[in-house]
Amino acid sequence: MKAKLLEIQNHLNASLIGRDNIIKSALLALVAKENSLLIGPPGTAKSLLARRISQTLQPLSENEHTYFEYLLTKFSTPEEIFGPLSISELKQDRFLRNTQGYLPTAQVAFLDEIFKASSSILNALLTILNERKYHNGTTSTDVPLISLIGASNELPTGQSELSALYDRFLIRCFVDYVEANQLYQFFDITPPSYLLNHLSKDDIDQIHQKAANVVFPKEVQEAVYKIWADHNEAFKENSDETLSDRRFVKVINLMKISAATNDRNNVDFSDVFLLKDCLWNHPDNKTKVIDIIKTVLKQFDKPVAIASNDMADFNNQVTSSTPTKSQNKTYGLLGSGTEDDPILIENLRHLKRLERPEIGRQGYYFKQTADIDCSAIGADSWFGIDFIGHYDGNHKKIIGNSKRGYYLFRTITNSEIKNINLDNSGLSSVVKNSTCVQCQAVLNLFNTVDNGQISHCQGKIIANHVKNSALSYCKSRSVLVRFDVDSSHITDCQALLELPIYNDHNFTEAGGIAQTVINNSTVERCFVSGKVINYNSNNRLYFQGVAHTVENSELCNNTVGSIHIKTDNTSFDFRICAEFSYSWIDNNIAISSPNQSFDNDLILNGKTIAPVLFTQDYFEHDLGWDFTTIWQWNDKRNEPELRPYTPTTEPQSSSQNPSVNTGSLLAQQLQANIWL
């Protein structure tokens, strides 16, 4: 079931730009048989999202209507929602409606501007939303409704008669316009494909049966109780932010559904984090609610050895496809392709042979034995390697052509790449479900990293886009990530700004670590310093020390050193970030500069430290940075820098098993939850 739900999420995301989190929330509400509310301005695809959600369901029968949609106004009548009165029944003095094709016969419904409903509509809606019953005349009938999605441009503030209706929506999502850096995706958007694997009512019923047997560990119960108590204390003076007993019962069920759909028999802390969309009534209070949840969950967090499920799946896939010594199918290359007997890549001809699927996509082990010069290869014959396997560059060089700057690999999937040194070439356009360790490039290392683990790598830029991934101990000579960090973790990385920043109409805002940090990402213990040079004099560059925009994410314990603006058409207004929403931004540090002045906003500009205090002792003992295995002090530059990589550099992690890392229990659980 988990695989089917992930497939449905991917299907919905393919044609809805910038709606990942909202899709997950609305789909979770559907699976939990709960109602969701979308709050936001017109033109943000609220109705389109509701239609797409309904299309993931199989109709109950040919006579059952899967979906009902209506735009309410203050003049809307019950006939428009529940169906017209039956004339034949009226002739017999019975008050009944013909409900076929209206809300009482739908599995999924979407009511736009729901808070404009009249009292006659409202009264009938309350029982449909909560009890799933419709009173048709003197008869109470069960309705097949699984989930109702409501939408509104505004909330019912000061209208107590609507509070009962509002409380029926367990999950609330604020829908805003697509971020500017995501607008380019609309040029390549394609019509949605047909979903082959629909969600049936039986599927949902089975999930609920499984959820009934899910248990709450005592420490998770304590966390939920404390969140509830802290919420009541924080909003005791705000009558609009009260929590009902009904909501408490419903969130317990929601957490059980989340655990069941993640193939677990017990609720964990990641399920508790789903309360971020359930415990606020006004969007202005969402950030405060998230802070309460995070503060409580951090009290229960602890360090653990993490065995990533994604990387375990990857290891299983590669192991199953790795040949034995008897399977010598490598077409004249030395080595059989096993871990003990890797295929040797000795020259350009051998490297080009990886383009052949029977060699480059079979899970073989490869080892490079000499520097390889590819600079003479023309554009029409450059590499098109879609790689699956293990490649050890053995710290040898691969030299590309500076006039082209192509990627060595077109795609890297379910693979392990290490020890490659690239001159005038990037490593791969797309990396998916793979690990890359100790790889270096003069140019950008990757275009897109999806579900990858990148560590101890260097490049002009590590990647343009990072999603569902972990970057650690990486160093860039320009910004670390050019565009977005999405649902990812960036830890102990360094952006040493030495090279010009290329900006265009899609890239006028930059951050030392990333332009945007979104969707439960974390950026922690990263260091940014150097000079900012705007390469394009026609476009103004707006540079921020860590990130320009932060949404639903964490920026903690990062440091911005000396930043020198070298071009006039560049703005450096905030040392940490320029914009943030629903995020945890804490304990970030910046060195003071006599030539630059910033206000005392600790979130946007961080805590200011005098140069005389900017020492290893401060980083090590006040900020908790590791100067034994990860960082070292550069006396000449008077700033921290990453230590050179050795197999023992990565603390509590085996270089022989890249799928095992040291981290926090909470981070592990959050990353594994399909709803986060």
258: tokens are 């989340």
Lowest mean pLDDT among 112-126, 488-502, 566-580: 566-580
Compute CA distances 100 → 70, 82, 133, 187, 618, whole Å: 15, 9, 15, 40, 71
Instruction: Decide: residue 373, CB within 10 A, 0-12 exposed, 13-18 middle, 19+ buried.
Output: middle
Greatest mean pLDDT among 135-144, 387-396, 574-583: 387-396
Q: Which amino acid is at 301?
A: D
pLDDT at 456: 95
Quick one: pLDDT band at residue 314, thresholds 50, 70, 90?
very low
Q: Quick one: pLDDT band at residue 193, thresholds 50, 70, 90?
A: low
User: What pLDDT is stored for residue 671 in this prediction?
Assistant: 79
Assess whether pLDDT exceeds 80 at residue 484: yes
Chain segment 442-454, per-residue pLDDT in tens: 889 999 999 999 9
Residue 508 three-state SS: coil
Q: Please check the confidence at residue 421 and state whether its pLDDT lies above 70.
A: yes
Query: Residue 193: how many CA atoms within 13 Å on its side-chain side?
Result: 10
Instruction: State the pLDDT at residue 196.
Output: 61
Q: Please tell me the predicted confidence (pLDDT) of residue 356.
A: 87
Please list the alpha-helical segments (H only) found in 38-85.
46-54, 78-82
Q: What is the mean pLDDT of residues 153-160?
A: 70
Q: Is the dihedral of CA 620, 626, 627, 630 positive or negative?
A: negative
The DSSP letter of residue 325 is T
Q: How far is CA 204 from CA 141, 196, 207, in A?
A: 21, 17, 5
pLDDT digits (tens, 9 = 90+) for 14-54: 777 778 888 899 999 999 999 999 988 888 888 888 888 88
pLDDT of residue 432: 92
Q: How far is CA 76 from CA 73, 118, 267, in A?
A: 5, 7, 43
**Exposure on the CB side of residue 328, measured as CA atoms within 13 A:** 8
Asked whether the domain spanning 212-304 has the same topology as the one spanning 1-204, the reply is no
Its CATH class, for the domain covering 212-304, is mainly alpha
Are 425 and 460 in contact, with CB atoms under 8 Å apart?
no
Do 640 and 527 touch, CB atoms closer than 8 A? yes
Q: Which amino acid is at 390?
A: H
Q: Phi-psi region for residue 267, left (φ > 0), alpha (ψ -120 to 50) or beta?
A: beta
The residue ranges of DSSP E strands in 175-223, in sequence order, are none
**The tokens of 597 are what?**
């002045």
Task: Report domain extents, the chain.
Answer: 1-204, 212-304, 309-443, 471-658
d(C-alpha 376, C-alpha 355), whole Å: 18
**131: Cβ contacts below 8 Å, ≥ 6 apart:** none
pLDDT at 674: 87
What type of residue sits at position 534?
N
Short-list 480, 460, 549, CA closest to 509 = 549
Confidence band, pLDDT 50/70/90 cuts, at residue 323:
very low
In this prediction, residue 663 carries a pLDDT of 56
Give the pLDDT band of residue 317 (cuts 50, 70, 90): very low
Pairwise CA distance, residues 521 & 535, whole Å: 29
Q: Which residue has the higher pLDDT, 650 or 476?
A: 476
pLDDT of res. 502: 63
Q: Is 641 helix (H, G, I), strand (E, B) or coil?
A: strand
State CA 499 to chain mean position distance: 29
Higher-pLDDT residue of 431 and 198 is: 431
Q: What is the pLDDT of residue 390?
A: 96
Question: Which backbone phi and psi does 667 adopt, to 5 degrees?
Answer: -60, -40
pLDDT at 401: 73
Greatest mean pLDDT among 58-62, 168-172, 572-576, 599-603: 168-172
- For residue 198, is pLDDT > 90? no
Mean pLDDT of 316-326: 40
Mean pLDDT across the stretch 532-555?
Answer: 84
Strands 426-432 and 631-634: unpaired
Lowest mean pLDDT among 65-74, 302-311, 385-394, 602-611: 302-311
Nearest CA to 389 among 317, 472, 303, 441? 317
Choose between 464 and 310: higher pLDDT: 464
Q: Where are the beta strands (DSSP E) in 451-546?
A: 453-455, 458-459, 463-467, 470-472, 475-476, 481-486, 489-491, 494-497, 509-511, 514-518, 522-524, 527-532, 541-544
Contact 587, 578 (CB under 8 A): no
The single-letter DSSP state of residue 401 is -
Higher pLDDT, 463 or 406: 463
State the average pLDDT over residues 311-332: 44
| Distances from the Cα of 517 to the Cα of 19, 297, 401, angstroms | 15, 21, 33
* Fold category of 1-204 in CATH: Rossmann fold (3.40.50)
- Cα–Cα distance between 417 and 239 in angstroms, integer? 56
Q: Which residues contact 228 (CB under 8 A, 6 or more apart)?
A: 243, 248
Query: In the chain, pLDDT over 70 holds for what percent of residues?
Result: 85
**Residue 16 region, left (φ>0) first, then alpha (ψ -120 to 50), else beta?**
beta
Average pLDDT over residues 148-169: 80
- The answer to whether 136 and 99 have CB atoms below 8 angstroms apart is yes
Pairing of strands 509-511, 426-432: unpaired
Which pLDDT does position 575 carry in this prediction?
80
- Per 3-state DSSP, the chain is made up of helix, strand and coil in percentages (nearest 5) of 30, 30, 40
Instruction: Give the pLDDT mean for 413-439.
Output: 93
Confidence of residue 543 (pLDDT cuts 50, 70, 90): confident
Q: Which two tokens stand for residue 458?
A: 């260097």
Answer whether residue 440 shows pLDDT above 70: yes
Q: Which residue has the tokens 């009962």?
A: 164
- Residue 596 and residue 577: Cα distance in Å, rounded? 16
How far is Cα 247 from Cα 573, in angstroms, rounded to an integer? Answer: 43
DSSP 279: S
The CA distance from 565 to 562, in Å, is: 10
Angle between helices 20-31 and 245-261 in degrees, nearest 10: 100
pLDDT of residue 252: 93
Tens digit of each residue's pLDDT (9 = 90 or more) over 365-418:
999 999 999 888 765 667 789 999 999 999 999 998 765 557 899 999 999 999
Q: Which pLDDT tens digit goes with each residue over 88-126?
A: 877 787 778 888 889 888 888 999 998 888 888 888 898
The pLDDT of residue 660: 38
CA–CA distances in Å: residue 276 to residues 233, 259, 296, 412, 582? 17, 16, 12, 35, 10
149: which strand partners?
36, 110
Residues 6+ apart with CB under 8 A from 327: 336, 337
Q: Round the average pLDDT of the chain to a whole number and report it.
A: 83
Pick from 468, 552, 28: which is nearest to 258 by CA? 28
Q: Which of 662, 676, 659 is nearest to 317 (CA)?
A: 659
Contacts of residue 486, defined as CB under 8 A and 6 or more positions apart, other chains included, come to 20, 465, 466, 467, 468, 518, 519, 521
What sign for the dihedral angle of Cα 110, 112, 115, 117? Answer: negative
pLDDT tens digits, residue range 628-667? 899 999 999 899 999 988 764 444 333 333 333 445 688 7
